[in-house]
């Protein structure tokens, strides 16, 4: 997987965190830099950790499913992408201005479950995991920090668009993997 493709995946999995960060920004009356840093660290950290865990799980079973890997990658990315698109069309999430570990930990874990599946996909594709998780973590940190600021300044109208974009990006990645495997690309 090229660095460009990896970046596209990083942006795709960051979109849920970006959308949640926008909601967190909406809830803050007086925005402080620490709000952006806390959100970025929680979401970026979780989005980096989950692919690593998925990679370790996937590496254990990679040899047994090597032939099915592109199909599995496509299926996982398609499921995640469709789920993100469906969430983008659903109800808006209600979040409060609490940035404590008690509030942020469950959000970060729930948000990063899709990154666990991406990590499994990376194992099947034999992606170098350290650059991948660093890129995902940093990208998510930046998108999350920016999301808090954007949410505070511009409101909820971007939340569903961010989730929609993330879902479409992951779907396109899945299709590209499948097309590459079948020799069409």
Task: Identify the three-state secondary structure at position 96.
Answer: coil
* 44 vs 31: CA distance, rounded Å: 20
Mind listing the domains of the chain with CATH numbers?
A: 3-181 (1.20.1250)
Q: What is the pLDDT of residues 8-47, one digit of tens each?
A: 999 988 988 898 888 788 778 788 999 999 999 999 999 9
Task: Report whether pLDDT(109) > 70.
Answer: yes
Mean predicted confidence (pLDDT) in 117-143? 92
* 166 vs 10: CA distance, rounded Å: 10
pTM of the model: 0.71
* 62 vs 65: CA distance, rounded Å: 5
Q: Residue 85: left (phi > 0), alpha (psi -120 to 50), or beta?
A: alpha
Mean predicted confidence (pLDDT) in 137-149? 96
Indicate the DSSP class of residue 89. T
Q: What is the pLDDT of residues 66-103, one digit of tens each?
A: 566 667 667 766 776 677 677 667 755 555 678 999 88
The answer to which of 7-11, 89-93, 121-125, 155-159 has the lowest mean pLDDT is 155-159
Q: How far is CA 134 from the centre of its chain?
A: 13
The count of C-alpha atoms lying within 13 angstroms of the C-alpha of 70, restricted to the half-sphere facing its C-beta, is 11
If residue 100 lies in a helix (H) or strand (E), which one and from where to where? none
Average confidence score pLDDT of the chain: 81
């Amino acid at each position: 997987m090229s660095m460009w493709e990896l970046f596209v995946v990083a942006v795709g999995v960051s979109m849920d965190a970006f959308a949640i960060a926008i909601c967190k920004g909406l809830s803050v009356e007086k925005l402080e830099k620490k709000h952006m840093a806390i959100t970025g660290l929680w979401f970026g950290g979780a989005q980096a950790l989950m692919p690593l865990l998925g990679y370790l799980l996937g590496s254990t079973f990679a040899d047994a499913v090597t032939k099915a890997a592109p199909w599995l990658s496509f299926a996982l990315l398609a499921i995640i992408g469709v789920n993100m698109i469906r969430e983008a069309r659903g109800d808006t999430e209600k979040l409060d201005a609490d940035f404590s570990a008690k509030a942020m930990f469950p959000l970060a874990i729930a948000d990063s479950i899709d990154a666990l599946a991406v990590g499994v996909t990376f194992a099947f594709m034999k992606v170098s995991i350290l650059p991948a998780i660093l890129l995902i973590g940093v990208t998510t940190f930046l998108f999350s920090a920016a999301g808090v600021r954007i949410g505070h300044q511009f409101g909820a109208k971007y939340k569903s668009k961010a989730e929609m974009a993330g879902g479409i990006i992951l779907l396109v990645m899945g299709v590209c993997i499948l097309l590459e495997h079948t020799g069409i690309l």
